[in-house]
Amino acid sequence: MRGEWPDGWRRVPLAEAGKWLSGGTPSTANSAYWDGDIPWISAASLKEFRIDRSDRRVTRLGADNGSRLVDRGTVLFVVRGMSLKSEFRIGVTERQVAFGQDCKAIIAADGIDPHFLAHALQTRTPKILAMVEETSHGTGRLDTERLQELEIGVPPVSEQRRIVAAHAVTERRIAALERVRDKLKTAKTALVSRKLTETSERVPLSSWLHRIEAGKSPLAQDTPAGDGEWGVLKVSAVQADGFLGHENKVVRDAEFINPQFEVRSGDLLMTRANTEDLVGLACVVGNSPPRLMLSDKTLRLMVDDSMADVGFVAAVLSDPAVRAQIKSAATGTSGSMKNISQGSIERLLVPDVPLEEQRRVQAALAVGRRRANSVQRQIAKLRTTQLSLMEDLLSGRVSLPPVDFLASATG
């Protein structure tokens, strides 16, 4: 984004864009401070642009003792946390909320629309992430003094509101597509759950498997493997929605490279160690980059093709009833990493569904998956178009018509 703006725009340092506020955390030892009706926003819970909810809530007493209350229309963003290593989380409050010390707030100055301010910051994400420093604990920290020196261009309020409306138009289209995508995912889950419910007989998962293979975690650098390099999977490579090949660490020492553990397309992988909610996640590898090895926290479940369909097995392992078995079998102290043994995995009870029926279910799942992937591609394309448009609008390179656009955007 350029540093010169059109006539009528003001050059405003972020320090002067509004009143900056810091948050805090009420004492967790005082039950009178928590489980109230005021959302308490943290680096972990700030995930949506429109901020109106959180898993953790405080009472009015808690907000007045250790936290900070802000009203509707306040810009909130993360200044400390693991997420800052890859994304800049920001949003605008839709109601009164409290927030923690890992976030900062800006109450926009007169003449600056808070949504415009948030969008102006969003489009500077690459520059903002370049300011992030790593703390001794490995989390990211954003130096707010440096951030306050960043300048934005501020047009008249009427132009700001047209820019905000342009963003809202695309957001509504994206939200509609996201609802379609989510319905497709729900239909997939329901199809598998119905099959589990209809089938009363259960067999151990071992009856569908040849064996389970575990990998190793060699010395590796915390950067992804490049072309021609070997890498070892991070546990985050295995997700419920699919395999993420870029989640790996490069292994440059030939002594630690073992082709026996190379991941192949069509493999069924499972996480052996993770948090309570993520341990035992399973997915089928699609088009895997070459030269990626299993780690000691990832397992390869070798499916017996004469007994089971690998895609159906993956879907069953994601079913809530089977996930409950996995959580129950996982070991580890409360709040720590959980582990599930190969023996526990083999003893998981799964529906005794004939192979041909498994294949019919998998074929239906594949149709739904292709439709969901198509919708996701449309969402990604709209996001890219939206980002490009906002960069043009917020730089002044493109302007919007004054009245007709607003009428169509808000009607």
pLDDT band at 176 (very low <50, low <70, confident <90, very high): very high
Strand partners, 40: 98
The pLDDT assigned to 306 comes to 95
Residue 211 pLDDT > 90 = yes
For residue range 328-377, list pLDDT tens digits in order: 999 986 556 889 999 999 999 999 999 999 999 999 988 998 999 899 99
Counting residues of the chain whose pLDDT is more than 70, the rounded percentage is 95
Residue 131 pLDDT > 90 = yes
For residue range 42-97, list pLDDT tens digits in order: 998 999 999 999 989 999 999 999 999 999 999 999 999 888 888 999 999 999 99
The pLDDT assigned to 3 comes to 52
How far apart, in whole angstroms, are the C-alpha atoms of residue 177 and residue 181?
6
Residue 2 pLDDT > 60 = no
The pLDDT assigned to 409 comes to 45
Estimate to the nearest angstrom the gap between the alpha carbon of 6 and the chain centroid.
37
Which of these, 318, 323, 332, 390, lies nearest to 153 by C-alpha position? 390
The pLDDT assigned to 71 comes to 97
The pLDDT assigned to 119 comes to 96
If one compares 406 and 53, the residue with the highest pLDDT of the two is 53
The pLDDT assigned to 212 comes to 96
For residue 97, the surrounding DSSP H or E stretch is strand 97-99
The pLDDT assigned to 240 comes to 85
Strand partners, 179: none
Residue 245 pLDDT > 70 = yes
If one compares 406 and 303, the residue with the highest pLDDT of the two is 303
Domains detected in the chain: 10-155 (3.90.220.20), 200-352 (3.90.220.20)
The pLDDT assigned to 136 comes to 67
The pLDDT assigned to 270 comes to 96
pTM over 0.85: no
Reduce the DSSP state of residue 291 to 3 states and report it: coil
The pLDDT assigned to 408 comes to 46
Residue 29 pLDDT > 80 = yes
The pLDDT assigned to 324 comes to 94
How far apart, in whole angstroms, are the C-alpha atoms of residue 180 and residue 232?
35
Residues 6+ apart with CB under 8 A from 197: none
The mean pLDDT value for 139-159 works out to 93
